[in-house]
Structure 1
């Protein structure tokens, strides 16, 4: 009876942790879906609503920079290689030297809108329509930063990890009288289930990492870049990433 009660309690705690980890993973994926949708929307509006569609090209490049800068910012990696493909040296330094490069890239896109408005290439009445996708991109950026900077409390994970070890260590003593020689088989199966669930939660709680089960940010950023440049009749500039296989470590 004590082992049954403890096992049910551990299962509940593991289920809660895995649900929390998956919620973070799915929210991160939803935010990147927002980035795709609103960059497409802004590109389409810029190409169709400006008096000179050729002037929309710098905006599309800056949106590509925002996507790659967001990827690198969430992973704390260097964005210079990707950013330099789309911006002038001065603008590239401005983005890559910033503490939050994705915010600066979004500011460059907003500056483009202000310049077109002052030059009379965009009617003031349609400015709110162009601002809404920028606001949504800012919301996606803030949501990604919140997930990346707020991990699941370490003490919570440690308590579950140690409790599982102790439970699996003492479990054979509670089962041997009732199931006899089948005790090692049943214990191994139960231990594997608990440790697999714990590993699953650990894999999913940081969706922006570079492990096999994390979000494929390289593939998503490449896809967004490709669809934006396709509207300009241009090929993608970054290399297509390889498809990753998902594994449970």
Structure 2
């Protein structure tokens, strides 16, 4: 055990017990091995086999691949909720490290010039919380993968209602016209290949609305990564 374990001890984000400074960061081995992969089914139509079926891909020909890392249940559910609602931004590193350990091949399959962008959060929510949880994870994954990162390419209206507070039917209509591209910020360097990262996918409506904005002449390839599937 190294001296840092005594000076800066780590605790499991789920069981709160002290753990060694190991590769799982703030997650003990017990809960690390409880992480589950989601069943492979299309996020748009629920067809089994892949996260993006061939028929739905025809609606978004630039969308090359979608990857979902975990099923949205304990322990990843508890870690995400603490990151988003308990003001524990350090858990973004826990999530990004686990994703990198178990899904490094996905990042290695991306074009070398792919830019990672986070699903944006409304400005009021960022101001209240102090950070965008998805942006923290995306930034960490950028450092781990060596892919460029742009947190300001895709913007979101300040007044959209959080999806978690709505019913499934309300979610389908909540985000209409709430996303926009920040062309002023990116006018010097159009993004040709984009990996959009979000935390939890339920209906896929947020992702679909974001795709409508990202599917522009400057962009040639689109990829999606979700931390968990509800």
TM-score, length-scaled by structure 1: 0.23
- Larger helix proportion of the pair: 1
Greater Rg, structure 1 or structure 2?
1
TM-score, length-scaled by structure 2: 0.24
- Larger strand proportion of the pair: 2
Structure with higher RCO (Cα < 8 A, 6+ apart): 1
